[in-house]
């Protein structure tokens, strides 16, 4: 089958393209922005990419058009597909019908930690010689690619609550038919498609309805929103993490924690990852892995060799005694958690937080009032203020002189470099490329 993918360079659709190619299909695709690293991953798979959505692509005559949720009505190629009555389908539906139908799907859902927890879970299964397929919204450093297809019956997927396509407004995860599901946490996000937290909770309730009674739900036992979701109805066995009756992590020192279940200590993990949030992610992955038959001790041993995901507290370099980190944090809770973890690691060293409020939720300013509190652990704060519908200077005023805002990227970089001194930790937080700021900071620090 020849499939042509609209919006192929997104993390989900690019992973889908990789899997489709590995399944033996001819795959082509287009996007408004064709750039690394996804373009490189796709080219390595022999997938031809086209820049833009020109209507002339209809001449490719694929057997099926697969539509990403970045595509809207008015897109010239989509309009041509509709006018000609061409067959089309969403990415999640294609994946469900052509790949996941025969798999034991382990799905990781939640506002925060989906990518890291999915990568942990896939790595645990891989270390147990289960050779899982996976599709993850980032690049796990243990694997080096965001997606793969294998002949294993196990498939790990990052289960996103974002909508499926312009013609299917259900959350993506409703297509996956998970047997093992992790519910990491739940907060308000995606303000461009959800009116409030209750609307997201309803989608999670629909997700819970799809999980069979022979399955397992691993849920955050201290998350009130998830408690409300499960109170709406649940037909599947539940194991909790974080709660006293479930899976717990006990910090033993800065690099070691013990794992227990129902009060019984089972194993220990020694690793370099920082923060309570990563210990919670680990508990969820260990519990889900046990559901497919992996002993918690073996899971903990695998996690000691877990190398995290690119763009999750990734050290991009150290120049002149100044370390530059890259992190995907783009929600106030994630920003606070990331900063708290870094503070635990570096002690009294100065942290220079560099923030790009880039997600749709942040651009709309829905959570802007939570930003000052989320940045409390930073010694200095630099906010990129371009393309925002609200005034970051006013919002960050409670931080006083330690907060600086610039709408010009070069000016922002110059301000950070001027303030940096040996021993400082520069933490860059954005869910986009941020204009290549990481390397630009390193270059200017070196100069």
Q: What is the pTM of this model?
A: 0.82
- In whole angstroms, give the CA distance from residue 97 to residue 81: 21
Residues of the domain holding 421: 314-446
For 106-128, what is each residue's pLDDT tens digit? 999 998 889 999 999 999 999 99
Domain membership flag for residue 308: no
Inside any domain, residue 27? yes
Residues 59 and 199 in one domain: no
* Contact partners, residue 438, CB within 8 Å, separation at least 6: 316, 317, 324, 326, 428
CA–CA dist 262, 257 (Å, integer): 16
Higher pLDDT, residue 77 or 243: 77
Coil, helix or strand for 315? strand
Residue 216 to residue 358: CA distance in whole angstroms: 35
Q: Of the candidates 104, 120, 113, which has an alpha carbon nearest to the alpha carbon of residue 219?
A: 113
CATH number of the domain where residue 76 is located: 3.40.50.720
End position of a domain, from candidates 62, 91, 120: 91
- CATH number for 426: 3.90.190.20
Region of 177 on the Ramachandran plot (φ > 0 left; ψ -120 to 50 alpha; else beta) = left
Confidence of residue 357 (pLDDT cuts 50, 70, 90): confident
pLDDT tens for residues 247-290? 999 988 878 999 999 889 999 999 888 778 889 999 999 999 99
pLDDT exceeds cutoff 90 at 342: no
Containing 76, the helix (H) or strand (E) segment is helix 76-83
The CA distances from residue 239 to 109, 242, 277, 383, in Å, are 15, 10, 18, 40
148 bridge partner residues? 134
Tell me the two tokens of residue 15. Answer: 């992973």
**Tokens 């900071």 correspond to what residue?**
441
Ranking 146-155, 238-247, 283-292, 339-348 by mean pLDDT, the lowest is: 339-348
pLDDT tens sequence across 236-249: 999 999 988 899 99
Determine the pLDDT at residue 239: 97
Both 76 and 118 in one domain: the answer is no
The predicted pLDDT at position 370 comes to 83
**197 and 175 part of one domain:** yes
């Amino acid at each position: 089958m020849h499939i042509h993918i609209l919006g192929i360079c997104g993390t989900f659709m690019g992973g889908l393209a990789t899997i489709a190619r590995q399944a033996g299909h001819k795959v082509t695709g287009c996007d408004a922005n064709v750039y690394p690293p996804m373009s490189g991953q796709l080219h390595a798979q022999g997938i031809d990419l086209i820049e833009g959505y020109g209507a002339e692509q209809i001449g490719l005559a694929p057997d099926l058009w697969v539509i990403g949720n970045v595509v809207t009505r008015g897109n010239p190629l989509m309009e041509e597909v509709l006018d000609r009555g061409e067959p089309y389908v969403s990415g999640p539906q294609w994946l469900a019908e052509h790949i996941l139908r025969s798999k034991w799907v382990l799905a990781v859902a939640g506002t925060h930690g989906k990518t890291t927890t999915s990568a942990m879970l896939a790595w645990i299964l891989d270390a147990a010689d289960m050779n899982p397929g996976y599709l993850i919204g980032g690049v796990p450093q243990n694997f080096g690619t965001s997606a793969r297809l294998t002949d294993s019956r196990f498939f790990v997927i990052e289960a996103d609550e974002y909508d499926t396509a312009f013609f299917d407004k259900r959350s993506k995860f409703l297509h996956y038919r998970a047997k093992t599901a992790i519910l990491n946490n739940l907060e308000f996000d995606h303000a461009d498609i959800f009116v409030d937290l209750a609307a997201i909770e309803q989608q999670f309730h629909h997700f819970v309805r799809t999980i069979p009674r022979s399955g397992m739900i691993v849920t955050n036992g201290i998350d009130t929103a998830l408690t409300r979701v499960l109170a709406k109805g649940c037909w599947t066995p539940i194991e909790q993490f974080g709660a006293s009756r479930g899976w717990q992590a006990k910090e033993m020192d800065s690099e070691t924690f013990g794992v227990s279940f129902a009060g019984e200590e089972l194993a220990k993990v020694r690793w370099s990852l920082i923060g309570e949030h990563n210990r919670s992610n680990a508990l969820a992955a260990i519990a889900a892995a046990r559901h497919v038959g992996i002993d918690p001790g073996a899971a903990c041993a695998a996690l000691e060799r877990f190398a995290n995901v690119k763009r999750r507290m990734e050290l991009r370099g150290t120049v002149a005694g100044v370390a530059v980190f890259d992190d995907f944090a783009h929600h106030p809770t994630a920003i606070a958690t990331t900063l708290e973890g870094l503070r635990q690691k570096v002690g009294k060293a100065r942290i220079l937080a560099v923030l790009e409020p880039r997600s749709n939720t942040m651009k709309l300013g829905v959570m802007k009032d939570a930003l000052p509190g989320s940045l409390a652990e930073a010694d200095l704060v630099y906010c990129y203020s371009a393309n925002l519908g609200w005034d970051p200077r006013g919002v960050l005023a409670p931080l006083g002189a330690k907060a600086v805002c610039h709408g010009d990227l070069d000016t922002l970089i110059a301000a950070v470099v001027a303030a940096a001194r040996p021993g400082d930790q520069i933490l860059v937080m954005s869910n986009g490329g941020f204009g290549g700021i990481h390397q630009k900071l390193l270059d200017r620090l070196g100069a």
